[in-house]
A and B are shown apart, each in its own frame.
Chain A
Amino acid sequence: GAGVSQSPSNKVTEKGKDVELRCDPISGHTALYWYRQRLGQGLEFLIYFQGNSAPDKSGLPSDRFSAERTGESVSTLTIQRTQQEDSAVYLCASSLQGSTRNTIYFGEGSWLTVV
């Protein structure tokens, strides 16, 4: 596709429910990243994929958070037993390679509200 695509764009869920957020990176981009942005805060790194592997998942805040990537393409971020503090915008990004020299492209985000 032309850019990074994320779905859903907005999600309201009840506390305790599980949610899945999807990311379609730019075609051919082998590196994929998930970030979180809470209201009034800076972006926080969650996880980095190179291909289908996640060499850096150090930013996942708890074991309720998990992510996978298949076909070196689509990625899914899953949050189990959601809590109110999980409310945030979840941003996916991709780059041509997992190199510090490559520009990173972001999607428009999935806005998650836990009530």
Chain B
Amino acid sequence: KQEVTQIPAALSVPEGENLVLNCSFTDSAIYNLQWFRQDPGKGLTSLLLIQSSQREQTSGRLNASLDKSSGRSTLYIAASQPGDSATYLCAVNSGAGSYQLTFGKGTKLSVIP
């Protein structure tokens, strides 16, 4: 059974710092991996989708990498801003006819002005 772990559970950084969020998964046979952002009382917003054949994806100040063989992904946020404060969730799709996403519990990020 696929399990997704995100470390740390919470992170606080001063504004302007670059930071890395980590995600690991137990079964490397994945079809893709997505990073989401969740704001309090809100739904999830998809940030980046990495297919299993890709190594990284970039969107603005965000860069996500995928090392499928080692079961790891990182989300790099450059020049953090207070508006980046949210919970970041990692989710994997293990395919094989299933469309389920398996989620980690998230990393709660606070960017201090």
Instruction: Name A residues whose Cβ lies closer than 8 Å to a Cβ of B.
Output: 4, 31, 33, 35, 40-43, 45, 48, 56, 58-59, 91, 93, 98, 100-101, 103-109
When C-beta atoms are compared, the residue in chain B nearest to A40 turns out to be: B105
Majority SS of interface residues in chain B? strand
When C-beta atoms are compared, the residue in chain B nearest to A102 turns out to be: B49
For residues 54 through 113 of chain B, which have their beta carbon under 8 Å from a beta carbon of chain A? Answer: 89, 91, 93, 95, 98-106
B interface, size bucket: 20 to 34
Residues of A within 8 A of B4 (CB): 42
In the complex, B12 has a CB within 8 A of chain A: no
Instruction: Name B residues whose Cβ lies closer than 8 Å to a Cβ of A.
Output: 4, 31-32, 34, 36, 41-46, 49, 51, 89, 91, 93, 95, 98-106
Residues of A within 8 A of B98 (CB): 56
